[in-house]
A and B are shown apart, each in its own frame.
Chain A
Amino acid sequence: MTTNALSAFRASAERHHATVHEVTPADVGPTLDALVEPPAVGVAPGFDLPSSVETDPSPADLDAARTGVTVASLGIADYGTLVLEQDAAASEAASLFPERHVALLRTEDVVPSIGDALGTLGPRLRDGGSAILATGPSATADMGELVLGAHGPEAVDVVLVGEEYGDEAGSDSNVADAADPTTVDAGGTDAEADR
């Protein structure tokens, strides 16, 4: 994906209250270590997850989890949207129940528009697949003003993984923020105030 689309993705995602961490494949491990606050659940084929992540969770695990890690199959640059496809491994539940959703996204999977994403999804949905186009954390204004964190997560971290980030020193600088336990611990309140 072009650098333009990647920076557009990042800007749009952050406009919608998500945090984007740009990392090389080699840095995924440390980034997740910093972001994942146990108890955690998750499914991430192709990536190594921290040992604290329960990969075959029970309902009780889902209920208790503070962090859920999944892989987004596409990112939409126009809106900073994650395409979360459903599978038999309960990734839908892992992205929905915990307060914090950490989504891994490969730079080559970022597409410019909703139309592009639907172009890819069309055949998959016709084949019985389901997908969520998720933009930022869950939110509601039903109680009188905007509150982040309704039935779904109140914080979303996108770990954008690509070789291209190797060239720029310090591109993963906001991992340091996330590593600060107060940010992660603070859940919605501070996560919201941060942005």
Chain B
Amino acid sequence: MSEARREKAEKLHHLLETEGDTVAENTRLFNRGRYEATADLADYEALKDEARAIKEDAIERLPELIEELRDSVEANGGNLYVADDAADANRYVREVVTDRGDSVVKSKSMTTEELELNEALEEAGVDVTETDLGEWVLQVADEAPSHLIGPALHKSSEGIADLFNEQFDLEEPLETPRELTKFARDQLLVDIEEADVGITGANFVTADSGTVALVTSEGNARKSALVPDTHVAITGIEKVIPAVEDLEPFLELIGKSATGQDVPSYYSLLTPPLTSPPVDFERPNEAVTDDPEGREFHLVLVDNGRSAMREDPDLKETLYCIRCGACANSCGNFQSVGGHAFGGETYTGGIATGWETGVEGLESAAEFNDLCTGCTRCVPACPVKIDIPWINTAVRDRVNHMDGEGEFDFLVEGLTPDDEPAGLDRAKRLFGNFETLAKWGSATAPLSNWIAGSAPARWAMERWIGVSSERDLPEFQRETLVDWFETRGSRVDAADAEREAVLYPDVYTNHVAVERGKAAVRALEALGVRVVVPRSAAVGSGRAPLSQGMVETARGQAERFRDALSSELDRGRDVVVVEPSDLAAIRREYEKLLPADDYERLSESSFEVMEYVFGMLENGADGNELRAGDQEPVDYHAHCQQRTLGLAAHTVAVLERLGYEVTTSDTECCGMAGSFGYKSEYYELSMDVGEPLREQFGDDGRRVLASGTSCVDQLEALLSRPATHPVELIAPDTSPR
């Protein structure tokens, strides 16, 4: 392994050992909670659409809304300041605070983490106390948050008890979460009562009224805004929405998306300066209602790169983010290592790539961007429907262009004719150009397999390219699926055919998993489909380069795919795809890569193979020739992208219809995620992400099915027993006709 890869692997290893278990437990709890809470929500999809539409409109009209907000805030008697960057915001807040005193209580705000406001205030001699219990734990421990909404989610109650018992001179050691909470509340109450200024963030700000909406469960934001007579609310400019009534979908969604609570304890809709009198503990015995001074309010809206993000087509969507953390909770890699690996200077989880690129710069995002495997499990979780994986892909492309070291990578370069920059990471280049490699592999098999599998080659691959020597390599087949089909031909006459379809010979099915492709042909023929496997269709879909952030290479492949398949569509043929990740490219990313008409035509005519089988059976095809299950119990893990496309149910339905008893996996992603698990620095993480599958399916002895090529490989590695694609299970052994 190269030095850089080794360092990365060691850091991940350390986090897996220290924080991994606590992070996994908490994020999976939140994730399950989200599923349960949203399952009860009849209009979940409609609410997400509504939330998204409000954000799209607000970001579109942002300058205008900020001016409307300014009028509202000033009419209420408050002040609005728009800060260009962190230094500007910190200067403004420092002046407000030092003018009023020297102590601040704060409720949780990621934006102030971004600004490093606490440090700026402390330098000016101001005492800053975080009042969110999780943030306070981190302040005491001097650690950084590891999650957007659960900043101390990586810490167990034992860890917190040890910390408190060590840091504070306590007569009785603290133990239970209840004791810890009570201790923290009592400590913090003193700080709140003595504070000169209360600082809060804002989850939303409504332009029509100047209302700051805060979402909390502890009540600390209520106290921080109520007790001191001066309130400073700090947030990003993107938090402005038009009107109070627009809060509705967000208030319905945010708790459910974040922690699975159907509603948090408090939505504070504060229109400062508040009518409530301050609670002045310097005059403890005078009625609070005869407050002589009144209140002061400052709303600080932070730009810090956001206006530029608004102009950047790839990053713009990031501004719709309501920071619920669902993308982190649904992410297999995040569940394993948490935000201290999967994050940048401030933000963590999938969407952090967008935030870090926008506010800190590409270097910060480059640190962790690889950890997004593009599995897309965050996509249905996001309450504002952000295409988080696309942001990660687009940023990966920029990262690829960032550090052109210009080395001559002879080993990979010959195999990888692409348009990507010279210094591109060798592993990325190799996996991104898998098509070229596979052609060479089949042409020279079995020699290619012997060479690749030999000890010196594995050593070189690990050393120079970063392919983990723990993994079995794909074995290239001398006779490709296309070769086989050319000799064999179709077994269903055009005259008898129910439908005609192209079985898309994706690179892997064509060169490696050839038997799976043959099974797919036989299964379709058993349903009366006339199948063709044309050599002209044996082109990459663009999935491989996309996963490495090689967007232009992917675009070129998408265009080639379109050209190759268009004539088939013209003949009235459907496109049947075996590998879910290829179908996901067609149905999702082609929208970004191809003209709208081409995208629509291809995505509407392409089907996952079991989806197609399901459709044929639903439309009356006779499934008698398919292999029936006879109550055989099977374990099934659907591919992550297939699940995001809503296609897992089709496989389960077909299997059940044929008499199999199906147990489906509970996990989001198997951890292999295409090439990810092959990379030496991620091997251990990849296996850890797959751990829940081992726990669930470990030694139940049942047949194991998975829809993705890499899932099959990963399940075999995890369970030490063979796994197959469902179509291989149901296809007749020999062609029936």
A interface with B by C-beta (< 8 Å): 16, 56-60, 62-63, 79, 81, 86-93, 96, 114-115, 118-119, 121-122, 125-126, 128-145, 147, 149-153, 188-189
Contacts and interface: CB of A to CB of B under 8 A. Distances in A.
Interface in B612-662: none
Of A114, A125, A129, A151, most B-chain CB atoms within 10 Å: A151
Of B134, B220, B267, most A-chain CB atoms within 10 Å: B267
A130 to B, nearest CB: 5
Contacts of A92: 222, 226, 274, 276
A58 B193 CA distance: 13
B266 A133 contact: yes
Contacts of B157: 143-145
Interface string B228-268: 00000000000000011101100110000001001111111
A166 B288 CA distance: 38
Contacts of B180: 143-144
A119 B219 CA distance: 24
Contacts of A128: 76, 271, 275
B694 to A, nearest CB: 26
B181 A143 contact: yes
A90 B287 CA distance: 10
B287 A93 contact: no
B271 A125 contact: yes
Contacts, number: 192
B271 A150 contact: no
A90 B289 contact: yes
A144 B177 contact: yes
Given A86-B275, A130-B275, A135-B266, 16 more contacts: A16-B263, A57-B287, A58-B284, A59-B280, A59-B284, A89-B289, A118-B251, A121-B269, A122-B243, A130-B272, A132-B268, A133-B269, A134-B265, A142-B181, A150-B218, A150-B220
Interface size of B as a range: 35 or more
Contact of B188 (A58, A141, A151): A151
A87 B274 CA distance: 8
Interface stretch (B205-213, B437-445, B486-494, B506-514): B205-213
A119 B247 CA distance: 10
5 contacts: A63-B193, A90-B289, A114-B252, A132-B266, A151-B219
Nearest to B218: A150
Of B150, B211, B280, most A-chain CB atoms within 10 Å: B211
A142 B22 CA distance: 12
A115 B248 contact: yes
A138 B288 contact: no
Contacts of A137: 265
A132 B267 contact: yes
B286 interface: yes
B184 interface: yes
B509 to A, nearest CB: 46
A129 B270 CA distance: 8
Contact of B266 (A93, A142, A152, A189): A152
B271 to A, nearest CB: 5
Contacts of B226: 92-93, 96
Of A16, A89, A132, most B-chain CB atoms within 10 Å: A132
Contact of B244 (A86, A89, A126): A126
B442 to A, nearest CB: 54
Contacts of B220: 150-151
A41 B260 CA distance: 34
B276 A147 contact: no
Contacts of A91: 276
B160 A143 contact: yes
Given A58-B288, A135-B263, A152-B266, A140 B218 contact: yes
Contact of B281 (A59, A96, A150): A59
Interface string B186-225: 0011001100000000000010110100000111101100
A5 to B, nearest CB: 17
